[in-house]
């Protein structure tokens, strides 16, 4: 069994891949679209990996909140299934909660998660204040953890809260 993200037939025609090796490998061809095109698979795979890694760490697998799942589905997954597997493993190791929430996701995925109906008349200050409050609530008021999730210093968080 072999896998590639290259068009081997085109490479053979261009002289960039050995023809004899291509025909030896090309017995049964299965083309699988990238993970970003299979949104429903993201959810199934994330739950599978969560079960597996939680078992390895001797704990119950956390559930994913609907918004966290939406954030996972919205990501483009350039690393495909391996990237999802590594992301879920990191979530299992780093999250103590029974539910994975949006603030638990890697920073680059948090803003992909839908937040419901958007009021586009709000100021940036209001949006930031609400977001900081939601993050703080999601970690049970733990300011150190909230500052880590927000990517700011604890002193900066304290200033924003005042």
129-148: pLDDT as tens digits: 888 888 887 777 889 888 88
Q: What is the rounded distance in angstroms from the CA atom of residue 141 to the CA atom of residue 127?
A: 19
Phi and psi (nearest 5°) for 134? -65, -40
Which pLDDT value is given to residue 118?
Answer: 58
pTM above 0.85, yes or no: no
Domains of the chain: 1-31 (no CATH), 38-116 (1.10.8.60), 118-162 (1.10.10.60)
In 3-state terms, what secondary structure has residue 63?
A: strand
Which residues make Cβ contacts (< 8 Å) with residue 61, sequence separation at least 6?
47, 50, 51, 53, 54, 55, 92
Which pLDDT value is given to residue 117?
Answer: 52
Phi and psi (nearest 5°) for 100? -85, 120
Is residue 45 within 8 Å of 53, Cβ to Cβ? no
Is residue 106 within 8 Å of 72, Cβ to Cβ? no
Is residue 102 within 8 Å of 65, Cβ to Cβ? yes
Residue 91 reports pLDDT greater than 70: yes
Write out pLDDT tens, residues 108-123: 787 666 555 556 677 8
């Amino acid at each position: 069994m072999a896998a590639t993200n290259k068009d081997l037939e085109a490479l053979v025609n261009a002289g960039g891949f050995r023809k004899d090796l291509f025909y030896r490998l090309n017995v049964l061809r299965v083309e699988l679209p990238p993970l970003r095109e299979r949104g429903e698979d993201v959810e199934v795979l994330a739950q599978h990996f969560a079960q597996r890694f939680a078992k390895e760490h001797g704990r119950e697998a956390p559930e994913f909140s609907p918004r966290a799942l939406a954030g996972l589905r919205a990501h483009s997954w350039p690393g495909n299934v391996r990237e999802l597997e590594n992301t879920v493993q990191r979530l299992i190791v780093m999250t103590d909660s029974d539910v994975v929430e949006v603030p638990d996701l890697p920073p680059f995925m948090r803003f992909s998660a839908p937040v419901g109906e958007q009021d586009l008349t709000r100021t940036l200050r209001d949006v930031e204040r609400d977001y900081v409050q939601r993050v703080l609530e999601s970690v049970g008021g733990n300011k150190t953890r909230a500052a880590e999730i927000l990517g700011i210093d604890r002193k900066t968080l304290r200033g924003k809260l005042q």
